[in-house]
Each structure stands twice: as structure tokens, then as C-alpha cells.
Amino acid sequence: MSIKLQTKYLKNFIRDEECKGIAPLISAAHNTLESRNGLGSDFLGWVTLPTDYDKEEFARIKAAAEKIKKTCDVLIVIGIGGSYLGARAAIEFLKSPLYNNIPKDTPDIFFVGNSINPAYLNDVIKICEGKDICVNVISKSGTTTEPALAFRIFKQMLEKKYGKDGAKERIFATTDKAKGTLKELSDTEGYETFVVPDDVGGRFSVLTAVGLLPIAAAGCDIDKLMEGARKAQNAYSKDDNNDCYKYAAIRNILARKGKTVEMLVSYDPAFTMMGEWFKQLFGESEGKDNKGIFPASATFSTDLHSLGQFIQDGSKEIFETVVDFAKPKTDLWLEDDEANLDGLNFLTNQNMSVVNKKAFQGTVLAHTEGGVPNIIIEVENSDEENLGELIYFFEKAVAISGYMMGVNPFNQPGVESYKKNMFALLGKPGYESAKAELEAKLSAE
């Protein structure tokens, strides 16, 4: 495996005995997952997805990605939550957070439908002027308001530009295989469709067409991504104290000691969106029934200059999980400066990645001395295979961890509350009585 769990910075926080003590809970969670009889067991498709996926559809995804690369300058990816974060995170991590700004032979990619902010959408619409566009609209339910609103706008834009027949060649829909408004609309309009399997929830869907089509369109190798996930599926299939299960155990031990905020840290800005993906995966899976570890994320050393003070010195609920990449994607060589006015000549003949590594080492020592436990996930490098491993590592870990906490890791009942209120306030038919009640609350002093 390219991923290794490093626990040496936990010595002052967790005793070996505690790990032994929690082992029966890990075994119970493993058995529940394996026997598929636990809470949310209708949503376990992701467990075997890396080996058991639709090969015919996988080939169509690659063909669609090639078509997108050939026919458009800009790919608009429409989706929110699990239908957005994985693809964006993977593309930024594998390519660059500056993907749209660097020279390349793949289209620029803009993600919309992940907010309702009109200014952002207007900016993307302006960028599209005079460009050839394709759209990948993604929604498992096919009814989510944010992407549906954005799709309405881009569908009209494409139909105006290319005509109905031309537009349908440029619109790709990823949704349920049989039901939902988006599926009906796609069938009516004749769009090519890809499937979000019934038994794979949104936040576990990055290795389905949801993530794979945009990732492939960005020029990433999705075969390698699946290969890495396959390795992880195999490595974490048994209750044998593997690193994934150990990670789940450690976070549960820490949470029981009041460490209820987990900050996922990396020293690579390209990993920032992976932090967002992680927050959804862990937040929606564990945060229920008044339980859960609050998932946060940070990019260091950037955030050491904002959050660093709090982590080092503030209240002590936080533990950090640092994803440390052994090899940098590229490097910079620091040369001598004769005047040395900045006083940095002590770094002459040094790689910038070495400076970054020292920042990591210095921080881990400072933070652990400040009472912040640090779990380190060592990853060999930043390629597709390693990312596939990492995605599966976190998915399996949160499932085990959620079962250890006694929650259903695969539902998200809390997400519905704001939607009901929003629909009522907007006057959606069927929400009339709630509308009056909510408006009264809003106007109350």
C-alpha cells in the first residue's frame, strides 16, 4: 500500500491498552459492515465498487470524456454536495488548483449549481461567451434545487447557441437509472446518461460516473484511480488491525477524551478541496443523533498564519490528521543571492519541498507539545493510484467509525430541514401552511 498510518505523535495521548480496549468495537463494526445487516445497509455499493462496477458504462465514460475534450473549450459541471465535491477535489489535487489557468489540451472546467449565488453564476456565464461549451449535470435524486436552477440556465444557453439537436450532443446527465426529474428530462431530450447506482450515496459516489466523467475530461487517468481504490478495497477487507481500521479506532478513542474536532491538514494547496470532500464525507456520515466528530480542514503553512494560534494555544477539542505526501509533484531549487538582503542564504541549494517538510516537522512537534494529538497519514505521491487508495481509505474509515459511534453512516436526515423551510418561503405548492408559520417567525421581534 502507498498509504501508511504513522502514530508516533500520539504517544502522549493514547496508550496501547486503549487501542486493545477498543478492538472489540472495531470487530463489531467490521462484522456489521461485512454481514450487511447494519443501519443504512442499502447503501453499501461503494464497498465493492472498485472491483464491481459497470465496465460498459466505464468505457462510455471514457468515450464521453474524449468527446468533451474534442468539442469544447469549457466544461460546465453542475452538481452540489456529493455530486460535486469529489470531482473538483480530484481534479484540483491531480492537476492543480490553477487547472483553468494553466496551458493544457483539456477544457477549462467550471463547477456551478453548488450555491444559489447569482453573481458567481453570472461570472461563469460571461466566461462562456464565445466559447464552445459542454455540460455535465449531476444529481442522484434529480430534484435538488441548486443544480436544477443552474441547469435550467445552461440548458437554455446551449439550446440558443447550438439549437436543440446540437445542445443534446453536448449535455451529459449523471443521475438515477430510472427515476427523478433529471432522468425524465434526459430521456425526453435525448441526452447521454450515466448512472449513480441506487446503493451508493452521494458522498460515496466519487468513483462512479459522478466523479469519473469530469475527472476523465480533465485528462486524469481513471483506470489508475480505480486501480488504487481496488488495492485499498483489498487491503482493508479484513479485521486485521489494518491502517484504515486503526485510524477509525484512534479517532474514536480521541473523541471519547473530548477531542471532538478533527482537522484534516495538508501542506499542499492542491489538497484543499480534498479537505472539503472529507468534511462532507465525515460530517454527513457521523454528525447525527447529537453525536459525531466535527470535521474541519486546513492547508498549512497558509492557515498556520490564521488558525495556528488557536490550534497551538486555544481550547483543546482539536486533533489533527495530517496527510503527508512523501514526494512533491514538482520542486523549486533555491539559489544563492549575493546581497542576501532577505537573509535567506542559509537555504541556498535547498529544495522548496524540503523547507515545506521542515515546516511540517516543526509544526507537528509544536502542536503535539501544545496538547494537540497528531495522526499522520503518509502517502507516497500525488498520482491517481494514490488518490484512489486515499479515497477508499477515508470511505471505509468513516463507515467503521460511524458504526462504532452507533449511528447510521449512510443517511443524512438533517440535510432536509433547510430545504423544507426554503421551499415553504419560496411558495412551492404543498408548503402553504409552513410558509405562514415561518414568515411569522421571521417577522417576530
Q: Which residues are catalytic?
A: 284, 305, 419
Place of cell 487501542: 19
Min separation Cβ 79 and ligand PA5, Å = 6
Q: Which stretch binds ligand PA5 (CB under 6 A): 77-85, 102-110, 247-255, 394-402?
A: 77-85
Which one among 136, 139, 252, 272 touches ligand PA5, defined by CB under 6 A?
A: 139
Min separation Cβ 100 and ligand PA5, Å = 23
Q: Which is nearer to ligand PA5, 38 or 81 (by Cβ)? A: 81
Strands (E), 141-184: 171-175
Binding mask 85-124 for ligand PA5 (x = CB under 6 A): ----------------------------------------
Which one among 38, 45, 50, 81 touches ligand PA5, defined by CB under 6 A?
A: 81
Which residue's CB comes closest to ligand PA5? 202
DSSP state of 335: P
Query: Checking phi first, is residue 150 left (phi over 0); if not, alpha (psi -120 to 50) or beta?
Result: alpha
For CA atoms 67, 68, 69, 73, give the dihedral sign: positive
Tell me how far apart the alpha carbons of residues 385 and 229 are, in angstroms, rounded to a whole number.
7
Work out whether 202 is an interface residue with ligand PA5 (CB under 6 A).
yes
Q: How many residues bind ligand PA5 (CB under 6 A)?
A: 15
Backbone angles phi, psi at 193, to 5 degrees: -120, 150
Backbone angles phi, psi at 157, to 5 degrees: -60, -45
Q: Which is nearer to ligand PA5, 252 or 412 (by Cβ)? A: 412
Work out whether 140 is an interface residue with ligand PA5 (CB under 6 A).
yes
Min separation Cβ 268 and ligand PA5, Å = 25
Which one among 38, 45, 86, 147 touches ligand PA5, defined by CB under 6 A?
A: 147
Work out whether 242 is an interface residue with ligand PA5 (CB under 6 A).
no
Work out whether 136 is an interface residue with ligand PA5 (CB under 6 A).
no
Q: CA-CA distances (angstroms) from residue 425 to 418, 421, 438?
A: 11, 6, 7
Work out whether 82 is an interface residue with ligand PA5 (CB under 6 A).
yes
Query: In 3-state terms, what secondary structure has residue 75?
Result: strand
Q: Are strands 3-6 and 374-379 parallel, antiparallel or unpaired?
A: antiparallel
272-286 and 384-405 helices cross at what angle (nearest 10)?
20
Work out whether 395 is an interface residue with ligand PA5 (CB under 6 A).
no
Work out whether 80 is an interface residue with ligand PA5 (CB under 6 A).
yes
Tell me how far apart the alpha carbons of residues 138 and 149 are, in angstroms, rounded to a whole number.
12
Work out whether 288 is an interface residue with ligand PA5 (CB under 6 A).
no
Q: Which stretch binds ligand PA5 (CB under 6 A): 81-89, 94-102, 236-244, 430-438?
A: 81-89
Site for ligand PA5 in 408-427 (CB under 6 A): 412, 415
Query: In 3-state terms, what secondary structure has residue 437?
Result: helix
CA 116 to chain centre: 20
For residue 99, what is its C-alpha cell? 487547472
Backbone angles phi, psi at 154, to 5 degrees: -75, -30
Work out whether 174 is an interface residue with ligand PA5 (CB under 6 A).
no
Min separation Cβ 168 and ligand PA5, Å = 21
- Enumerate helices (H) and strands (E) in the chain, giving the number of each: 16, 12
What is the binding site for ligand PA5 (CB under 6 A)?
80-83, 139-141, 144, 147, 201-203, 284, 412, 415
